[in-house]
Amino acid sequence: MFLKNLNSEALFHPAIPAIPMGRYAHFVLLRETTSYSLFQTDGQLNFAKVQAGIKDKKESVSRVVMFKRKQTTPERLTGRELLRRYGLLSGVEGNARYCEYNSAAFCKVCPDCIFYGFAIGQEGSERSKILVDSAFSLSLFDESHESFTFNAPYEHGTMSEGTVTKSSFGEQDHVKPQVIFPAVVTIHDPTEAEFIYVLNNILRTKRYGAQTTRTGSLENHLVAVVFSDGEIFSNLKLTQTLYDKVAKEAKGHYEIEGLVQQTVAALPGLLAEDGVVANPVLTGESLNRLVEEVSTIIRDEGRLQAVLQQAYTESEQYARSYGAKRDKKANNPKADKKASKGPEAQQGTLLPEG
């Protein structure tokens, strides 16, 4: 056991189960942009027209959308980077542990493949055990974005070379700093190592969206950890609930500490509406103790390696027992029985025993 502040035996599975077993761990987050960010598809900022809040069902507003892949991809890459650093994955083609993200070269065995899932046509697939949905900005679209003109100067810093002026001008919409995206990340039937692996990815990942080498800084504020027997409220419902509570006073400018308090205050009512058994719900001091314990583990190289190795062992065992790497003949008694029959048995003649 890695965690002392949780009843791990009651909350986590000892191994990744083959079928759903009704245990959920939810991370309730406020994702806050800390620089100008690009969340776009086909060159345009993603936005959606939705109901403003829960109470006012008539008012529709536009909000910036952070699609689910804009959230999961950076976090997956953070985990994969660590797995490679400690020799549990390889970036060298031909190596036994070679795994290439988002391609037909997924290894189908590592924690990233098994926890977050993959799909490779006829070669197999794995359903994600990490449930993520699109997140919606708390502030409205007009308050959340800004348009910038960009250019690509020559080395001497101007747009002209001789008498020729470069034509590489353009304009892009960026999400402003300090825009809040309330979000829930859920682990379905977690093991303890999986729980730490996913939380570590969330805490370590600092850049999201396009052009992450130049912009896209984002901070994940962990507001609560909820253990339950079912799924809880959606990202949009959480956003609309907070909008009802703070929109009139905030006028588009939200202070993160106040939002954390408002989110914690809204949790009991939201969970009651979900009709799930939620126990424990970690907020405040109990959450701080858990985060500090996890932070202590991931800052200690030896303990971090132990968690990653445990996660890899669990995912490999699952892959070979139930996943794309399983021995289908060994897991199919009917196929074994049919394969054991000789020509005489297939013609209706019984084979002698022994």
What is the SS3 assignment for 8-56? HHHHCECCCCCCCCCCEEEEEEEEEECCCECCEECCEECEEEEECCCCC
* Rounded distance between C-alpha atoms, residue 162 and residue 176, angstroms: 37
**Crossing angle (nearest 10°) for helices 284-299 and 192-204:** 90
Mind giving me the DSSP string for 209-240? SS-TTTS-BEEEEEEEEEEESS----HHHHHH
Cβ atoms within 10 Å, residue 110: 23
| Ramachandran category for residue 326: left, alpha or beta (phi over 0 → left; psi -120 to 50 → alpha) | beta
Closest Cα to residue 326, out of 9, 108, 35? 108
pLDDT per residue of the chain (354 residues) written in tens, 0 to 9: 899 999 999 999 999 999 999 999 999 999 999 999 989 877 788 999 999 999 878 889 999 999 999 999 999 999 999 999 999 999 999 999 999 998 999 999 999 999 999 998 777 899 999 999 999 999 999 988 887 665 555 565 555 666 665 555 556 788 999 999 999 999 999 999 999 999 999 999 999 998 767 789 999 999 999 999 999 999 999 999 999 999 767 666 789 999 999 999 999 999 999 999 999 999 999 999 999 999 999 999 999 999 999 999 999 999 999 998 887 655 555 544 544 454 444 444 333 333
User: Does the N-terminal peptide bond of residue 280 adopt cis geometry, omega within 30 degrees of 0?
Assistant: yes
Q: CB-based contacts of 330: which residues, under 8 Å, 6+ apart? A: 336
Beta strands in the chain (DSSP E): 24-33, 40-41, 44-45, 47-51, 60-66, 118-119, 125-126, 130-131, 135-136, 145-151, 160-161, 164-165, 169-175, 180-188, 218-228, 278-282
Q: What is the pTM of this model?
A: 0.88
- Whether 226 and 287 have beta carbons less than 8 Å apart is answered as no
Indicate the DSSP class of residue 59. -
Indicate the burial class of 307 (C-beta count within 10 angstroms; 0-12, 13-18, 19 or more). buried
At 68 the pLDDT is 95
Q: In this structure, what token pair is assigned to residue 74? A: 């950076």
- Whether 34 and 177 have beta carbons less than 8 Å apart is answered as yes
At 173 the pLDDT is 83
At 151 the pLDDT is 53
- Whether 315 and 115 have beta carbons less than 8 Å apart is answered as yes
Cβ atoms within 10 Å, residue 104: 9
- Whether 75 and 68 have beta carbons less than 8 Å apart is answered as no
Sign of CA dihedral 59, 62, 68, 71: negative
* Rounded distance between C-alpha atoms, residue 242 and residue 261, angstroms: 10
